[in-house]
Amino acid sequence: MPRAIWSGAISFGLVSIPVKVYSAVSRKSVSFNQLDGRTGSRIKQKRVSALDGEEVPYDQIVKGYEVTKDSYIIVDEDELAALMPKASRTIDISDFVEQADIDPVFYESAYYLVPDELARKSYALLAAAMQESGRVAIATFVMRTKQYLAAIRPVDGRLMLSTMLYADELSEPDLLPGLEGLDDIAVTDAERAMASQLIESLASDFEPEKYEDTYRVAVMELLERKAAGDLTVAEMPPAAADDSVVDLLAALEASVAAAKEARKRHPSTEAPRAEKSNAADDGLTVAKTA
């Protein structure tokens, strides 16, 4: 049974809607422990001083902020506690914005907001009003001594909360090597048309269940085989050949042809999609002969 990780109320204006917060994500990964290869026993980590290698008692460990190489400002727990945001039980909405105005890069972790029994009508009303307006609520709240920026959006009559990054936490793309000058690269009409056709040939509805973490699946299968007594060592697949393609247009044409052939073999290919592809073919022919 899922457990709420926070409880409080959505607050905007004079309206207050009691809610509980549940994680919308159940992350799956394969965890390993570090073992001594000689004995199979667990490896323990110790906190030791970089000065003399001696183990440091936990009560002697303090927080330090490095200002220059090996030079630190010591901050004690009481000083930090005085600066922590005051714990509150409200998700304070400050703005309602257009969802299209929020770049997905700002979204972090997702949660469900579940209403208390007596607040179900108010909750449903807010979700419906937000759905009709097409707007997303921007709010702040405190959870586990940390203040979060969040977006609340309606999804099928339910409210979802996504924690968000602050603007100064995003990297400036202009400072990343390799991204400069991209606007000045020349692309021909034929290349653009062929790229558009390739995108259209691979277009489909988003079905999240058809994607899987193939590495995690393979690791679990390996562990199951080993647990069953199969000690066969898996062979590494051969490295892919480095067939660098110089002719971009030829590569796009080959990709489109392969995608079309794959769609013909797939039993779920829809007729409307085929008609749309044919329309794209006609446009491409004109572009190539122009």
Sorted by sequence, the CB contacts under 8 Å of residue 135 that are 6+ apart come out as 96, 97, 98, 99
Q: Where are the alpha helices (DSSP H) in the chain?
A: 77-83, 120-133, 189-201, 214-227, 248-265, 271-289
Taking the CA atoms of 41, 43, 46 and 48 in sequence, report the sign of the dihedral they define: positive
Taking Cα atoms as reference points, which of 51, 34, 52 lies closest to residue 43? 34
For the chain, where do the domains classified as CATH 2.40.290.10 start and end?
A: 6-25+84-169
Residue that is written with structure tokens 């790229």 in the block: 195
Mark the ranges of the chain whose per-residue pLDDT is less than 70.
Answer: 234, 236-237, 239-246, 266-290
Please give the pLDDT value at position 242.
Answer: 58
Please give the pLDDT value at position 289.
Answer: 35
Taking Cα atoms as reference points, which of 243, 256, 262 lies closest to residue 288? 256
The Cβ-side half-sphere exposure at 159, using a 13 Å CA radius, reads 30
Taking Cα atoms as reference points, which of 48, 15, 21, 218 lies closest to residue 119? 15
Taking Cα atoms as reference points, which of 139, 181, 145, 144 lies closest to residue 159? 139
Burial of 195 per CB tally in 10 Å (0-12, 13-18, 19+) = middle
CA distance 21 to 139: 14
Taking the CA atoms of 204, 208, 209 and 211 in sequence, report the sign of the dihedral they define: positive
Please give the pLDDT value at position 236.
Answer: 66
Q: Which fold has domain 6-25+84-169?
A: Ku70; Chain: A; Domain 2 (2.40.290)
pLDDT in tens, 149-174: 999 999 999 999 999 999 999 998 88
**Which letter, b or e, does each residue of 77-105 get, where b requires 16 or more Cβ atoms within 10 Å of its Cβ?**
eeeeeeeeeeeeeebbbeeeeeeeebeee
